[in-house]
Amino acid sequence: METAIPYKIYLDEDEIPKQWYNLRADMKNKPAPLLNPGTLEPMTLEELSVVFCEELAKQELDDENPFIDIPQEIQDFYKMYRPSPLTRAYCLEKKLDTPAQIYYKFEGNNTSGSHKLNSAIAQVYYAKNQGLIGVTTETGAGQWGTAVSMACAYLELTCKVFMVKCSYEQKPFRREVMRTYGAQVSPSPSTETVVGRKILEEHPDTNGSLGCAISEAVEMTLDSPGYRYILGSVLNQVLLHQSIIGLEAKAAMDKYNIKPDIIIGCAGGGSNLGGLMGPFMREKLLGNEDYKFIAVEPASCPSLTRGKYVYDFCDTGMVTPLAKMYTLGNGFIPSAIHAGGLRYHGMNPALSQLYADGLIEAVSAKQTEIFEAAELFARTEGTLPAPESAHAIKVAIDEALKCKETGESKIILFGLTGTGYFDMQAYEKFHDHKMENYVPTDADLEVGFQSLPDLPNL
């Protein structure tokens, strides 16, 4: 076996990134601005600062500065679990008998179990810096809520989490981890907010959705002085913080002169993919290098592959600004698939623009396919992946198998966003052959599109 490249590439102290990378700065076609749904004018800093911390509102609007300093306190927190290893999947390559080289960046090596902590600590830090008491947020699968709970415990802020009901029920242990870190957790839709009560009245049996939990968290924020809302994906600021993944990955690869041909990430709201690909996309945008980028989404929630590129609300209750993005409609309620972190109707606006410009590709995968890939990965590489991450694994395997056919030795990099320890119910269903592959029909999607706001001039 070739061992010139180690199984794991780590970074030395002086190679650790000290700035985040802001992808939008290098985009020629900038993502469309967030709009105030009342006036249909671009959201101003003042307006955004009602809901978000001021520094984060600034980051949200910044499409000029390519590099932004990571505050020292956040750098210090990162040191507890970063840099995350970049691993060469020698064992998987061997099993697939492929000439391709496969690398993955593993983000599950912290208690929250995913990349979400990279942005949670940043957002909670800025809240604390502004002298706030606490933050409110939502969580889908539970990874984001856990990450925020950890960040709040560390910086001693209070934390209120609305957890999508089906995950609240499927993953009681996640809830307990959050409570261990001091968070207050409610299933969403809840009876604690006007929007929650309204949704419950209209859909008493709903499984909940991220869009709905966001509405609840935003409403509670507006009613709670000293609190701001924070969100774990979709927003530009989240992609900015997640760029730490790509910056580390690129530094590690550069060290060994490895240039990936294909970069793959699962896509829920787009933050891990945007973060991983950011510094590579920069090279592409500047015309220095070319890469193929692939977003992988669940066939049951296909925002990029089957959605519309229009202005929509980021939540179901229509309380957030309007974002131009690939969307299935804010009223689209995805089926209760097990990759809870990918059950979101929209997509980050910058990624949406890049996709519209043909700079990234997108594919979708069915549930049983991704669990097959997850199992193969667990058995060969050792790490038990999150179902979300398994979407990226599946496509990395597909690409490696294509190389086997053509004899090309392409270099594949994918994001392994988290561990699957809290998803054993899903694995159980898969093993017992009780897992269904729900793919919405065009008529099903039409129901979601009906909820798009009617904005004739946009």
Ligand X SMILES: *Cc1c(COP(=O)(O)O)cnc(C)c1O
Applying CB under 6 A, the residues found at the interface with ligand X are: 114, 116, 141, 143, 233, 266-272, 341-342, 386, 388-389, 417-418
Q: Which two tokens stand for residue 291?
A: 């890469």
Which lies closer to ligand X via its Cβ, residue 221 or residue 348?
Answer: 348
- For 110-122, give one letter per residue: b (16+ CB within 10 A) or e: bebbbbbbbbbbb
Q: Which two tokens stand for residue 34?
A: 């967030």
| Closest CB 457 distance from ligand X, rounded Å | 30
Residue given tokens 């979407």 in the structure block:
391
| Closest CB 375 distance from ligand X, rounded Å | 17
| Closest CB 264 distance from ligand X, rounded Å | 12
Which lies closer to ligand X via its Cβ, residue 135 or residue 266?
Answer: 266
| Closest CB 338 distance from ligand X, rounded Å | 12
Q: Which two tokens stand for residue 221?
A: 């924020």
- Who contacts 350 (Cβ-Cβ below 8 Å, separation ≥6)? 23, 24, 27, 31, 236, 239, 270, 274
CA dihedral (208, 214, 217, 223) in degrees, to 10, reads: -120
Which lies closer to ligand X via its Cβ, residue 98 or residue 327?
Answer: 327
Let me know: does 238 contact 270? Beta carbons within 8 Å: no
- Tell me how far apart the alpha carbons of residues 411 and 399 are, in angstroms, rounded to a whole number: 10
- Tell me how far apart the alpha carbons of residues 429 and 419 are, in angstroms, rounded to a whole number: 17
Which lies closer to ligand X via its Cβ, residue 221 or residue 233?
Answer: 233
Which lies closer to ligand X via its Cβ, residue 88 or residue 171?
Answer: 171
| Closest CB 117 distance from ligand X, rounded Å | 10
Residue given tokens 């392409």 in the structure block:
410
- For 385-418, give one letter per residue: b (16+ CB within 10 A) or e: bbbbbbbbbbbbbbbbeebeeeeeebbbbbbbbb
Let me know: does 131 contact 158? Beta carbons within 8 Å: no
| Closest CB 15 distance from ligand X, rounded Å | 24
**Count of CB atoms situated within 10 Å of the CB of 361:** 16
Which lies closer to ligand X via its Cβ, residue 272 or residue 330?
Answer: 272
Which lies closer to ligand X via its Cβ, residue 186 or residue 272?
Answer: 272
| Closest CB 55 distance from ligand X, rounded Å | 21
- Tell me how far apart the alpha carbons of residues 217 and 231 are, in angstroms, rounded to a whole number: 9
| Closest CB 226 distance from ligand X, rounded Å | 27
- Tell me how far apart the alpha carbons of residues 299 and 420 are, in angstroms, rounded to a whole number: 20
Q: Measured between alpha carbons, how far apart are the two ends of the chain, in Å? A: 56
Which lies closer to ligand X via its Cβ, residue 68 or residue 235?
Answer: 235
Residue given tokens 């700065």 in the structure block:
25
| Closest CB 387 distance from ligand X, rounded Å | 8
Which lies closer to ligand X via its Cβ, residue 140 or residue 187?
Answer: 140
| Closest CB 69 distance from ligand X, rounded Å | 23
Which lies closer to ligand X via its Cβ, residue 136 or residue 233?
Answer: 233
